[in-house]
Structure 1
Amino acid sequence: MSIDEHQTDPLDGLAETLDHAAAAMVAQATHGLSPATLVQAWSDWALHLAISPGRQLQLATKLGRKYMRLADYAARRAGDPDTLPAIEPLPQDRRFDDPAWREQPYDLLVQAFLLTQQWWHAATTGIKGVDRHHEDMVAFAARQILDIVAPTNIIAANPVLQKRIVETGGRCLIDGIEHLFEDMSRLARGESPAGVEAFPVGETVAATPGKVVYRNELIELIQYEPTSGMVHPEPVLIVPAWIMKYYILDLSPDNSLVRWLVGQGYTVFAISWHNPGSADRNLDMDAYRRLGAMAAIDAIHAICGDAHIHALGYCLGGTLLSIAAAAMARDGDDRLASVTLLAAQTEFSEPGELGLFIDESQLNLLENMMWSRGYLDSSQMGGAFEILRSNDLVWSRILTEYLMGERAPMNDLMAWNADGTRMPYAMHSQYLRRLFLDDDLAEGKYKVDGRAISLSALRKPMFIVGTERDHVAPWKSVHKIHMLSPASIRFVLTSGGHNAGIVSEPGHRGRRYSVLDRVEDGPVLDAEEWLTRAEPHEGSWWTAWGEWLVDHSSEPVPPPPMGSPDKGYPALYPAPGHYVKER
């Protein structure tokens, strides 16, 4: 008699617990990076390179030519101090901007480093047979290793740092050590970085007057007080990402998108998310849709009557809004007037360098790390973003604060960035698997209430913003909404990155954007063709959005009441509420 194949093994529970615990320990030790993926990537690259003698010959020849270029530059430089360099840094690489780097012998160190960097890029890319994901990981890892040994990080090779040491009599190094100890002490005590105390929430930032008019276990809905006698009847709902505190859009009064919108004559509502803990581990994507976006839409509809809603989603909040809007369109719910997405992806086949951290092995490790706590901590999440921009967020800080002894002055955006949030286990696992890994939303496989939704059902006017230097939601990925929805779309590409490009108030120096409209059911342009046809403008994209909102809004009327007690939405307490202050 055979053993029943459906019989439960008494060791199942113990085995699963041991596996979870072991993987969680590995994840903690590696900060969420999968050793298996790294080994697979390097092995894939090394083995294919080993069986490619022609490629090896090419790389050896390239290496020889680069040494010859370096020698030629050194010879020309000895006779002519103004000779042109053999290689220039990439446009985004600002490490060698100081004129001191053009003095001998430091210019030779820079040239040697840049030529080496260029050679390693050639060595880690274009090897036939290597999996694309593995190639990206190896190239990325090589860049990280090279950045560690860059001349800027070595006292003996950095003339700018040497000058600073001489000018301060070595005091900068002492100050740097003090900064390092202070930061380590604050981190150990779970305190915010130095200077954050100058930006108290509800006073300096998140200070636009308003009331919390609805609260459930996941959100507080803030309604902001009108500043004009008349408002457009269509209210604006802001759905921020729960990966961040909502007040990225309500920073100081002079760069608050919320305050600016209120001043443009709109009734503005914003979702403030609860900061989840271990008890919230089972909150999933559908919970965020139901208790977040849809609960807010229900409340606004009750307070403002039959007016249609201009819905805005930022980053992950924009992805959630697109899901909610597609489900509403499928079900015949016509309460939206328009959809605005800021740096928000709806198609994830090319997520940029963030995709380096997303494969089956990485997700297994991440899920086990979250399993032990029930959430992903902001420090773990922030670490991944810092690695993506290590030159700007890691090495430049080490150089400036810990070697040169100079503290960067804290500003509202930096203080907000330090005010981290957590991500519940179920939601984050679903988000990464169903959207990033499987691309269910773009492929029509994402289900809401047991039925598939399609972004092709979205026909409300759309205003989409991408940012030029976005490492979280690359603009070319954001642009792919054109291929998923037949709606009329005004697409804007603005200068800046994922955060600073969005916080782009009118009058902000150096801001620019490009814009191009696509009519409903109009032809689709790929990102490169869009870029060649888009019309460039100087200034803030906020003004372009404001003009677009007016075109899709009705004539102003008296403002609605603050909340609606008779419909179950009383004004509970002043903005910014309680959830935003949760730690």
Structure 2
Amino acid sequence: MTTSETLDLSTSPEHIERLKENMEKVDSLSRKLVEIMSTKKQHHPGLDAPNHELFARAATSYWAEMLQNPAKMMEQQVEFWGKSVLNFAEAQKILAAQEGKEALETSPSDRRFTNPMWEKNPYFNYIKQQYLTNSEIIRMAVEEVADLEPLDRQRLSYFSDQIIHMMAPTNFLPTNPDALEKALETEGQSLIDGLQNLVADLEANNGELVVRLADESAFEIGRNIATTPGEVVYRNRMMELIQYRPTTETVHETPIVLFPPWINKFYILDLKAQNSLIKWVTEQGYTLFVVSWINPNGDYADVGMEEYIEEGFLTAFEKAKEICGVKQVNAIGYCIAGTTLSLTLALMKKRGDKSVKSATLFTALTDFSDQGDFTPFLQNDFVDAIEAEIGEDGILPSYIMARTFSYLRSNDLVYGPAIRSYMMGQTPPAFDLLYWNGDGANLPGKMAVQYLRGLCQGNAFADGGFEVFGETLHLRDVDIPVMAVTCETDHIARWSDCYRGVQQMGGRSKTFIVSQSGHIAGIVNPPSRDKYGHYTNADLKLDAPDWMAGATFNEGSWWPRWESWLKKRSGKQVPAREPGDSGYPALEQAPGSYVRARARS
């Protein structure tokens, strides 16, 4: 339906009457919304913005600069006035143009402004152009604030960008033509549906606004995601150990033990058969164990990195060895589990434990000297607020970490989904990756603080040593063969930062790969898709830019290259192993019970 047809329809008496009726329903839902928000549990305000001292320093510096160099400030203001007047003139030009005449494209390509009305309608065109102008001036002002330390400038830039994104005209109904057209076309039903979506999301999260990214009714763990056959063969308070069923007559003697991050669930590696790394590994002839972590509650307040290492990593190694009757395993650690696997390997070196033959690290940071996009959140004011939020409950709620990750890509993961769900009344898509993204886990308070203070802020593992079980662990203690797989556009664990950590490891056999794409798609990249390639370079003495400059680009997935590397460290062929044995009978079918526990704020 065209805009003119929509407007014609909206003028009919019947349409107006139905629209009024639906607006009364909107009012009723609004009252429900207020009731929910009034009972919302408040989180620590320090989690929402940096300490006011940052903005005060910036304002003071800006004021001092204006006094010292008023001509420069006036030049900026005159430029702002000039652009504003030109925006208004362009709106008048469009208004005066003949109906149907094409308007010129006057702004950079931006997915938020794809509706033709942003160009052809003088009202929306002016709003858009003025928003873009305001955004440019704010960024320029931040860039030119003098006397700020680089860290403060980076934080100020990040949070000013967040304000810019939040104030986009697309985020407000009166200035969003897509939402207005939808409301007219549906006689207001889209607004009712949107408010119902909003109320449902708030009720599901105790009043905390967590935008639902996927249609949760479309997925069921164990039915259409996480379906690779296997059995839970061991369980303790920290994890379930899943052994997957073989798909070949023989397997390599040395089993694999895979540790996913405990911030999210393991089934990112088993979403569906077509892109399941777990399924693919079994098809290559390996015995695969995967750890499924507990989703902790208040009973886990005093659980730290030590418990994850002892009752998670070391226990999983021992159980896999006993079940398979071997002396060594190969290990995989993804993200924070790769960081902790590296700590575990350093501890095992101190103890003379040679149970792990090789380690594969997926997007794992071990040197935090440059904190990348997370720098704004890893300063004392935010970490202090996290400690305060943990408080008496002893748990860091999952939504806090999820929100932090989401705001690194706020237009894609916050505002865009909110507009579609709450303004347009659309049901979130049935997208398995987004379903997984919303299925987070709580973090034990002690572990979260150890990780943030000791590793992220103190960079103790790479600088000075990280204390665990009375041992001081260093990156150089990791001396077994390592392959590190990183991702080119990863904004969570930048490949160059991962590279710096691998360089400091003490082993002579180190392989480094950079996959195309990001933190998830670069890892979940099956050969059958033939979508993303990867970079290799054997010279790990180079700094990161030179390593990439001299790297070879390889078409296709890195999975086969990794499997060729792993095969050399996996021993002879033995008869395929069924899950468990007489000492460890199957407790239940994969994916087990722990993975099904949902975290709510």
TM-score normalised by length of structure 2? 0.82
Distance 1:369 1:187, change over 3 A: closer
Which letter maps to 1:577? G
Contact 1:370 1:425 in 2 (8 A): yes
1:472 aligned partner: 492
Q: Aligned with 2:462: secondary structure?
A: coil
Q: Report the equivalent of 2:306.
A: 286
Matched, 1:338 2:358: yes
Residue 94 of structure 1, CA deviation = 3.1
With over 3 angstroms needed to count, the CA separation of the structure-2 counterparts of 1:55 and 1:172, relative to structure 1, is farther
Report how far residue 112 of structure 1 moved: 3.2
Selected match of 1:181 from 187, 191, 199:
199
Distance in 1 between the 2:563 and 2:76 partners? Answer: 52
State which drifts further: 384-393 or 239-248. 384-393
Unaligned 5+ runs, structure 2? 1-39
> Could you tell me which residue of structure 2 aligns to residue 43 of structure 1?
56
Match of 1:33 among 44, 47, 60: 47
2:589 to 574, 577, 583: 574
Q: Paired residue for 1:350?
A: 370
Residue 118 of structure 1 corresponds to 136
Question: Do the aligned partners of residues 516 and 100 (structure 1) sit closer, same or farther apart at CA in structure 2, a change above 3 Å counting?
Answer: farther
CA positional deviation for 1:118? 2.6
Given that 2:467 and 2:473 are in contact with CA atoms closer than 8 Å, whether structure 1 keeps it comes out as yes
Task: Say yes or no: does 1:159 pair with 2:177.
Answer: yes
**Deviating more after overlay: 54-63 vs 258-267:** 54-63
Tell me the alpha carbon deviations over residues 106-153 of structure 1, each in whole angstroms, 9 at most, x when there is no partner.
445434323322322222235343233332332222112222221222
Q: Please say which of residues 348-357 and 105-114 is displaced more in the overlay.
A: 105-114
Larger mean Cα displacement after TM superposition, 241-250 or 146-155: 146-155
Aligned counterparts, 1:60-459, within 5 A: 60-65=74-79, 68=82, 85=106, 88=108, 94-98=111-115, 100-105=117-122, 106-125=124-143, 127-188=145-206, 195-306=215-326, 308-459=328-479
Provide the C-alpha distance between the structure 1 equivalents of 2:223 and 2:438, rounded to a whole number of angstroms.
Answer: 17
Closer, same or farther in 2 for the Cα pair 1:573/1:161, shift >3 Å? closer
Equivalence for 1:21: none
Structure 1 pair 180/371, CA: closer, same or farther in 2 (3 Å)?
closer
Q: Aligned partners of 1:543, 1:247: CA distance in 2, in Å?
A: 21
- Against the structure 1 CA distance between its residues 178 and 451, is the aligned structure 2 distance closer, same or farther, given a 3 Å change threshold? closer
Residues 529 and 260 from structure 1, CA distance in 2 versus in 1: closer, same or farther, beyond 3 angstroms? same
Describe the shift of the 1:162–1:268 C-alpha distance in structure 2 as closer, same or farther (beyond 3 A).
same
Distance 1:317 1:470 in 2: 17
C-alpha separation in 2, matches of 1:156 and 1:329: 63
Using the alignment, how far apart are the partners of 1:477 and 1:309 within structure 2?
Answer: 27
* Deviations 1:506-539, CA, capped at 9 Å, x for gaps: 3447x323312335xx41322x333333333444
- What secondary structure does 2:257 align onto? strand
Match of 1:497, SS state, is coil
In 2, Cα distance between equivalents of 1:75 and 1:451 = 70
Contact 1:479 1:491 in 2 (8 A): yes
Q: Is 1:31–1:380's contact at 8 Å kept on the other side of the alignment?
A: no
CA distance in 2, matches of 1:286, 1:417: 27
Relative to 1, partners in 2 of residues 1:529 and 1:223: Cα closer, same or farther, differing over 3 Å? Answer: same
Report the Cα distance in structure 2 between the residues aligned to 1:471 and 1:31, rounded to whole angstroms. Answer: 25
Is contact 2:255-2:570 (8 Å) kept? no
Deviations 1:424-448 (A, max 9, x none): 1111111111011111011132123
Q: Match of 2:574?
A: 557
Tell me if 1:502 matches 2:523. Answer: yes
Compared CA separation, residues 255 and 389, structure 1 to 2 (3 A): same
DSSP 3-state at the match of 1:223: strand
Q: 2:514 is matched with which residue? A: 493
**Matched-pair contact (CA < 8 Å) for 1:512–1:537:** no
Structure 2 residue identity aligned to 1:503 = V
Task: Report how far residue 326 of structure 1 moved.
Answer: 1.9
Residue identity (%): 33
Change (3 A) 1:100 1:505: farther
Q: 1:192 and 1:397 mapped to 2: Cα distance?
A: 7
SS in 2 for 1:372: coil
RMSD of aligned alpha carbons: 3.1
Q: 3-state DSSP class of the match of 1:290?
A: helix
Normalised by the length of structure 1, the TM-score is 0.85
Contact 1:224 1:267 in 2 (8 A): yes
Contact 2:215 2:428 in 1 (8 A): no
